[in-house]
Structure 1
Amino acid sequence: MGVRPSNASARCQSSAGRSARAGANAALRERPANTQARLAAATGRDKTRLIPILDRLEQRGLLRRGTDPADRRNRTVDLAESGRALVAQCQDGIRRMERDLLADLPDADRDSFIGLLERVAELVARRRPGP
């Protein structure tokens, strides 16, 4: 059972780039209109290292930045419609790959495995500093 990346996942890799950009896109999809500082905290990235990533995403039309009305020193960040579409496309590709990878497992084993992964993700999220 060889799993090959689909066309959608290849587009996601070439469009979203490395995991840092994909992580920024996903975090923005979950919580729109973040400030750059909150986005850095949510993705576990240093703000100074996140800004060039956001610059590239903005140049490609995947996100918008503006001034925070509550504090004009802060910049807000929100996904553009094309960024939302890309995140959805990537998530669909990931779900297809997961189904392919786990297709040979019995249902009970697959459910158990996914449940454990979700628990690990929750534990990791709790360890991250909040925004």
Structure 2
Amino acid sequence: MSNTATIWSTVPEKSSIGQRIRHAREASNLSSAQLARRLGVKTATVSGWESGRTEPRANRLTMLAGFLSVSPTWLLYGLGEAPADETFSSELAVLQASLKSVKDLHERTGQALVRLEEQIARLSPAKER
């Protein structure tokens, strides 16, 4: 019987640090060049991190975590909360905007129907005379 208890409250993700950097960058809706500019490194450096050829130093890792709104622990080990998927968030925003447009159109259509009914009611007695 083995003891599987650990100090971690969650199971680490099976992705690499490079994959997590890329995921967090994409979730932040940043290009490699934009992230590199913010960090003061070359785009090739960010590409190297994301491909797994190299890893960021501790000071860059802390900066990365801050810019990408994730914890350094998540970047290093995959423990903790991953960034929200930007694609899902943007699709949800588009759907919410579409729903609002349809509701506004529905309200305007209802108002137009009321005006038409009022005009018809005004004209109907005149024709009957």
Provide TM-score, normalisation by structure 2: 0.28
**Structure (1 or 2) with the larger CA radius of gyration:** 2
Say which structure is richer in strand.
1
| Greater RCO structure (CA 8 Å; 6+ sep) | 1
